[in-house]
Structure 1
Amino acid sequence: MDFDFAAGRLSLKGESYPEDASAVFGPIFSALETFFAATEGREVTFDFDMAYFNSSSAKALMNMFQMLDQAAASGCRLTVNWFFAADDDTMKEFGEDFSEDLDHVTFNLVAVE
C-alpha cells in the first residue's frame, strides 16, 4: 500500500488474504474517508495491482470501490487503473466486475506482460 495523498496517487499492490479483513481495511477506509472529504475537484489516480485476494478482501475491495464512486460523484476526478497479468483471466474478470458498479470513476483495465 502506498498512499501519497499530497500528490493524489494511491496504490494497493500485492496479495491480500487476512483472517480479519475489517481489521486490515478499516484503517484504510478511515484514511480514505478523511482524504476524500477534502478532495472535491482534485484529480486522483488509484492503482490496483493485486496478484491475489481472498473472498473477505474482495468484499472490502467492493466497499472501497463504492467509496471511490461516491467521491467521484461528489466532484473528485478519479481514475482507477486495474493492473493484471495478461494471462490471468481471473484478475481481469474481477476488474471487469468491479468496474460494472462504478458510474463516476474512469476505470482502466491494464494488461501487463
Structure 2
Amino acid sequence: MLTAAEADALRAAIEPDAASLEILSTDPDGNMLADAITAVLTECGWRVITGSYMRTGLTEGIVLRLPMTEDDSPALVSFANALRDLGFDVRVRERTGAAQLIVGRNPL
C-alpha cells in the first residue's frame, strides 16, 4: 500500500501543475507529468523502465513501464488510486514481470 508520506510526495510533485488537469494541455509531450510521476515512483523504490507520451483517438496521456512482482501489485494499485484521487484517468496493465501505468486526462 502507498504510505501517507508517499501519497503526500505524489501530491506535492503533481498538484502544483495539475490544476484543472491542465498539466497535459501545457505539457503537450507529457514530459512534466512523466517526470513528476517517475520521480515519485523512484522515491518509493520503483524503477521505471520506459516512459512515453501516447495520443490515439480519445486517449491522451503517458505510459510508464516498470518491473513488478505479484507482491508489488497492491502498492501499484494504491499508487494508481492516489493519481485517480488527483483527478487523472489511470489504467494499470499487469503482465508477467512488468506493468504498464497509463495516466491521462481523457477516457482510457
Return the index of the structure with the highest Cα Rg.
Answer: 1
Give the TM-score band, short-chain normalised: 0.3 to 0.5
TM-score (ref. length: structure 1) = 0.38
TM-score (ref. length: structure 2) = 0.39
Higher strand share: 1
